[in-house]
Amino acid sequence: MSAFVSTLSAVWTQAVTQLRAFLIIPDREPVDYGFVAGDVAQVHRLCADPARGALDDATWKDLLLDTYRAQLSKEVSIFGQQVLYQRLRAGLDDDACAAVGERVRDLMGDPERLAALHRDCTSLRHADKEIATLLFEDTAPPAPWWVGKTWPLPLLLLASIAAVIVTPAAWLATGVVAYILMSTQMRYYERVEEWERSMNALQMLLRVSSILGARKDALLLPFAGPAAAAGKLNRQLSRAPMVVMTPGARTYLDWFMLDNVNHYFKGVRLVHGNLDFLRACFVWVGELEADIALARHLLQAPVLCWAERHTSQSIALAGTVHPLLPQAQALSVRLDGGGAFISGQNGVGKSTLLRTVGVNLVTARAFGFCYAEKASVPDLPVYTSMQSEDSLFGGESLYMAELRRAQELLAAADGAHPGICIIDEIFRGTNHLESVSAAASVLDVLAAKGLVMVSSHNLVLASLLAQRLSPLCVRLDADGRLALEAGVLAHTNGIALLAQRGFGPAIEARAGRVFDWLNGYLAHPGDCDGVLAGENMSEPVSP
């Protein structure tokens, strides 16, 4: 009987497809559901590789990677979104990264093929439920003994109703049977509805796997063998075609024969009996959709190069830009075995520079490319401290948040996955003297352990940390283009901005006098070199 139903379902599907093609009925427009962050992150959570140092939450937020991932994920289903998130969060090893690069370049070289594969995956975007949890974490619920044995219930119901003609006491039996049917339906109704949403997404996955397997394409070799099995399993998970096509049949069967409950437990048995196969389909489809998304994105990238990856403490980015800025000015950054202290006037783009370096380090680690003319970067995790803030509900001040983050960076430097630290305006939440003192101490230790890039308006840090961090200044050249040059900012513009913002000449003049007084002995101290080195000297440094 099941073989007959499967055959009938296959014939029906083929007939509908041919009729649609004959009548030129377009597929319904895909719906891109807005999945919450937790759904998109499920594959990373469930399949994390402990050998790879993943980005932490603060770095993900600081580098605006949710916004960047959304840009990559345009017209991409939940399956591709989850794979893109996983790659961004944890990165890929050299072999996997090289394989991704080869596949993406292959797709970019054939736009017609890329467009055809994108169309084949379009139906995946109708999925409104993530199923990674189902496939990689959930366990099968036990099936009650009565599953598959409910066919006598409607007969008993009809018999009890008919028996009312003989004796009114038969209403009692009718009530008992009706109670069993209704109470069972109500008990499982929400679970069955949730399961059907999961099956909708899973069957889309199987359908696309079957379609891709029919293509004669070298890129789709993983789909060639399992295509038939995917189609068969898809049909087994479907309700009988006659039930779907007959108006009202599904409702009557659900309420009087518990057909939806029986089908639910049948689906549970099928899914958990084919988990290895379904997981493989999930990975194949998600990886392919992620590669398609990257190829489509990179065809429109303003500048692109495939990065040289290494493990040394050096960075070389020539003509690099930030992918989220439509008309970003390119900058070149080079660090040979040491960190950098970045200075520059207010609003010149120091924070943007740090984020540009950070996101390019992440994309090189995740996908193998950078938004640059040429790139040589380390395959190391990135840790940032850029957006610490007061927490009203957490009862944490700005300075306490900064201290907590600094401890996390120090712990990461001593942990299993040390990486590159990118810090913007460290310790803003306390007074100037304590800010400089604490920042100098923390940065000195961090820079001794690994590569550090830090920007700050406290220029005295450049002198204090000269033995650890090379001073670099962001400025505008004669043509109004950004340039990164060796040295420390010579002319600040904080006080000049007072006049530009309309504070008046009196306030500007007073601020200028205070600045001149402070600058005399704070901005360019002459005896900084030994301050942080005092702990290594035989005698402590005198105050």
pLDDT, tens digit, for every residue of 161-198? 888 888 888 888 888 988 999 999 999 999 999 999 99
Q: List, in sequence order, the alpha helices (H) in 322-396.
A: 350-366
Average pLDDT over residues 133-142: 92
Q: Which of 263, 124, 293 lies closest to 207, judged by CA? A: 124
Please state, for a pLDDT cut of 70, what percent of the chain lies above it.
Answer: 88
Both tokens assigned to 488: 């420390």
Q: How far apart are CA 473 and CA 130, in angstroms?
A: 47
Contact indicator for 306, 368 with CB cutoff of 8 Å: yes
73-77, 282-286, 374-378, 514-518 — which is least confidently predicted?
514-518
Q: How far apart are CA 96 and CA 368, in angstroms?
A: 9
Pairing of strands 469-476, 482-486: antiparallel
Contact indicator for 299, 112 with CB cutoff of 8 Å: no
Pairing of strands 420-424, 374-378: unpaired
Does 430 have pLDDT greater than 90?
Answer: no
Give the model's pLDDT for residue 538: 40
Give the model's pLDDT for residue 539: 43
Q: How far apart are CA 414 and CA 319, in angstroms?
A: 33
The torsion angles phi and psi of 391, rounded to 5 degrees, stand at -120, 105
pTM over 0.75: yes
Does 479 have pLDDT greater than 60?
Answer: yes
Does 282 have pLDDT greater than 70?
Answer: yes
Q: List, in sequence order, the alpha helices (H) in 214-239.
A: 221-224, 227-237
Sign (positive or negative) of CA dihedral 120, 122, 125, 127: negative
Average pLDDT over residues 206-230: 85
Higher pLDDT, 538 or 315: 315
Q: Which residues belong to CATH 3.40.50.300 in the chain?
A: 305-489
| Average pLDDT value for the chain | 86
Give the model's pLDDT for residue 541: 39
Both tokens assigned to 412: 């990461």
Both tokens assigned to 163: 């028996």
Residue the block writes with tokens 């639910």: 264
pLDDT band at 540 (very low <50, low <70, confident <90, very high): very low
Please state, for a pLDDT cut of 90, what percent of the chain lies above it.
Answer: 52
Burial label, 479 (beta-carbon count in 10 A; 0-12, 13-18, 19+)? exposed
Does 284 have pLDDT greater than 80?
Answer: yes
What Rg, from alpha-carbon coordinates, does the chain have?
A: 32
CATH number of 305-489: 3.40.50.300
* Angle of CA points 176, 181, 187, to nearest 5°: 120
Contact indicator for 257, 154 with CB cutoff of 8 Å: yes
Q: What is the pLDDT of residues 78-131, one digit of tens each?
A: 999 999 999 999 999 999 999 999 999 999 999 999 999 999 999 999 999 999
Q: How far apart are CA 493 and CA 456, in angstroms?
A: 14
pLDDT band at 246 (very low <50, low <70, confident <90, very high): confident
Does 523 have pLDDT greater than 60?
Answer: no
